[in-house]
A = this chain, B = another copy of it.
Amino acid sequence: MFDPRNPTPSGPTPTGASQALRGQVIAINSQSIKIACSSCNLRELCMPMGLSKDELDKVDTLVDTRRKIKKGGALFHNGDKFTSLYAIRTGFFKTCVATEDGRDQVTGFQMAGEVMGLDGIVNDRHTCDAVALEDAEVCVLPFDRIEELSHDIPSMQRHVHKIMSREIVRENGVMLLLGSMRAEERLAAFLLNLVQRLHARGFSQTELVLRMTREEIGSYLGLKLETVSRAFSKFAEDGLIEVKQRHVHILNSEALRDLVNRPDCD
């Protein structure tokens, strides 16, 4: 009933817009060969579009290293010197910030094609931890190289601005969620967001495998793990989803959407 391999490309049926992503999957995953950005299957997510041949060649010099992170390992920690941004090739991350007294807050979950490390630019130090929730690989993008390329390629400059702006807008959305939604609305919004992003990467619109614990979901949503668990059970009871541990099958995404937008009606 559930496919446990998501979000590897062998997961639920790729659909729609991202058919193009499928072709090269096997070649890329089979080895840790150097893949040029220009031929990377994630380039639509990381890179600006409509580059000339010349510009593509320049962009291909951007990534000179990859880094593999084991499940549970950190890509960077709060306080680490900032040198690079990181584009996720495979795997799944969380980012979290902490108070002095030890409480911490998951600020986001990142998947393939997304960029991490933007927090480090302002003070040359990272202000959050980035932790792999499954074995992962990232492209290391030295930030001074990014700035050089931004200088040479206008669409690259624009692209960098857009990535940062997108993160600001995303965080605005999380603030809205944390500041004004009930527990079940939050979870519904979270599931819809996850499945939408997975769908954009060629996965099912209705099935997903969570890579994080209830506690991590709770931290992200400003709830306790028990509350998250109860909300899952409630959704299942109401026939909106099927849940079995981390495997979620969305049966009625329309109802989930209604929950987010019209909280009063039950």
Contact = CB atoms under 8 A, between A and B. Distances in A.
Interface of A: 97-101, 103-105, 107, 118-123, 127-128, 147, 150-151, 154, 157-158, 160-162, 164-169, 171-176, 178-180, 219-222, 260-263
Given A147-B157, A261-B99, A119 B165 contact: yes
B119 A168 contact: yes
A118 B98 CA distance: 25
Nearest to A223: B179
Nearest to A121: B165
A119 B172 contact: yes
A121 B170 CA distance: 13
Nearest to A174: B175
A168 B164 contact: yes
A176 B233 CA distance: 27
Nearest to A146: B161
Contacts of A127: 169, 172
A171 B173 contact: no
Contacts of A122: 162, 165-166, 168-169
Given A105-B180, A178-B179, A97 B173 contact: yes
A174 to B, nearest CB: 6
A158 B147 contact: yes
A101 B166 CA distance: 23
Given A101-B262, A171-B175, A220-B179, A157 B165 contact: no
A122 B166 CA distance: 6
Contacts of A157: 147, 150-151, 157
A154 B154 contact: no
A175 B221 CA distance: 9
B118 A165 contact: yes
A184 to B, nearest CB: 15
B128 A172 contact: yes
A222 B147 contact: no
13 contacts: A97-B172, A98-B176, A103-B180, A105-B176, A105-B180, A107-B176, A118-B164, A119-B169, A121-B161, A123-B169, A127-B169, A175-B175, A179-B219
Nearest to A127: B169
A107 B172 contact: yes
B97 A168 contact: no
B105 A175 contact: yes
Contacts of A260: 99
Contacts of A147: 154, 157-158, 161
